[in-house]
Chain A
Amino acid sequence: MAAVASKYKDLQDLGVEIFSISVDSHFVHKMWQDNELSKMVEGGVPFPMLSDGPGNIGKIYGVYNENEGVEMRGRFIIDPDGVIQAFEIMTPPVGRNVSELIRQVQAFQHVRKTNGEEAVPSGWQPGKPTLKPGPDLVGKVWEAWKVEEAF
């Protein structure tokens, strides 16, 4: 969570609101913030830390583990229409990649800005070529885009 917090400014610049969610109470969130997170990143976690004690939110988003009573590491990108554009769910021992989150937000925002006329190929980052799907592109992606652009 500290890693997400450290990139909060970049995400805010993209117009993104972040909410973290766990089954801990908001009182425990405060203790975690005061005693640990504030020592990992200056100012601690700046975004709202939500409490989902009964696991209700986790259940409807499919990230709640009923045996362990906790939520898996789930990350959802929701667009301004309230539509889920992407998610990633991981078991607890592996942390998420915040740079990849930012890249995906930029990619979805680009597609939205072009009203879906442009698609962004694998590994796309701002400034890299996009594709304009249409009859002329069928069978011609190999000319319009090189695999090296993915990395």
Chain B
Amino acid sequence: MKPLKVGCGKPTGSKIGKPQKEETETKETEKQEEATMAAVKVGDKAPDFEAPAYQGGNFGQIKLSDYLGKWVVLCFYPGDFTFV
């Protein structure tokens, strides 16, 4: 997890990009795309993203493509403090 500077603005800012692939692009060429509802399919490359995160007392930044080479499980859920 890359460190994340904590500011005063409302913290949001997940970003999505091209489907993840080996690190060939530089930061400048990374394109952010407007998110449209598009269901992924099994067998597809997992769309890459970067988002702020909390883990073990620290805030950081997680980029999915940094984890190529590992098995990854994403668990979306409706919200903190919900009941199930």
Contacts and interface: CB of A to CB of B under 8 A. Distances in A.
Q: A and B from one assembly? A: yes
Interface of A: 1, 4, 11, 14-33, 36, 46-64, 66, 70-87, 92-96, 101, 105, 109
A54 B45 contact: no
Contacts of A71: 76-78
Contacts of A21: 51, 74-77
A46 B78 contact: no
A10 to B, nearest CB: 12
A50 B80 contact: no
Nearest to A77: B73
Contacts of A19: 53, 62, 64, 72-75
B84 A92 contact: yes
Interface in B39-68: 39-47, 49, 51-56, 59-60, 62, 64-65, 67-68
Contact of A26 (B20, B37, B52): B52
A78 B73 contact: yes
Interface string B12-54: 1111100111000000000000011111111111110101111
Identify whether the interface residues of B are mostly helix, strand, loop, or mixed.
loop
A80 B71 CA distance: 5
Given A27-B11, A82-B19, A33 B78 contact: no
A79 B67 CA distance: 10
B5 interface: no
Contacts of A51: 11-12, 14, 51-54
A47 to B, nearest CB: 7
Contact of B14 (A16, A31, A56, A94): A56
A79 B71 CA distance: 5
8 contacts: A16-B70, A16-B71, A22-B80, A26-B52, A74-B75, A78-B64, A85-B43, A87-B40
Q: What are the nearest 3 A-B pairs in CB distance?
A: A53-B12, A62-B39, A32-B80
Contacts of A22: 76-80
A47 B13 CA distance: 20
A102 to B, nearest CB: 10
B42 A84 contact: yes
